[in-house]
Amino acid sequence: MSRIIDITLTCSLCRYEFPYKLYCSIAGDEPGNLELVLTDKINVAVCPICIVSVKLNSPLMYSNISKNFAVWWEPYYDPQIDKENELLIKMGRGKNFLSEAPRIRDWQEFKNTIMKYESGELKGIPFTNSNPKKKADGLFKRIFKK
């Protein structure tokens, strides 16, 4: 499940304020989402007035529940991720791919790590219950309070 929030941005060039939909997490098992990340089109804002574009340096979790993995792009340390991980462990009754997701600072390394999981080279920590998608979706809703 992707989590998107509405924010207001101010263009660094013309100072125009405009609304923007910022991804906080993106579900890699939804059609088109992997490509959005790999082609560097996610969280890139374009000013509607002067057409200046900027990559927003906001933490982003990529997850693929069907393959039991998640990866954080964390361009700067975000203590909120620590708090969310603690809650995930408590609510998920143990460590799992969401609470143990690697936290990566470099964008290219983030994409490379995603591809290693997608190809099966790396493996996530599955949930122990019989319906991991339902479990993960429920945890996302409670942690991120959509």
pLDDT at 130: 46
pLDDT at 1: 81
Q: How confident is the model at residue 119 (pLDDT cuts 50, 70, 90)?
A: very high
Report the chain's mean pLDDT, rounded to a whole number.
89
Fill in the amino acid letter for 32: G
pLDDT at 137: 57
Q: In terms of DSSP bridges, do strands 60-64 and 3-10 run parallel, antiparallel, or are they unpaired?
A: unpaired
Domain segments of the chain as ranges: 3-144
146 has a pLDDT exceeding 50: no
Q: Which long-range contacts (CB under 8 A, 24 or more apart) does 120-127 make?
A: 120/67, 122/69, 123/68, 123/69, 124/67, 124/68, 124/69, 124/70, 124/97, 124/100, 125/68, 125/95, 125/96, 125/97, 125/100, 126/68, 126/96, 126/97, 127/68, 127/92, 127/96, 127/97
pLDDT digits (tens, 9 = 90+) for 33-89: 999 999 999 999 999 999 999 999 999 999 999 999 999 999 999 999 999 888 888
Q: Residue 60 to residues 13, 70, 105, 108, 130: CA-CA distances in angstroms?
A: 25, 10, 11, 13, 28
92 has a pLDDT exceeding 80: no
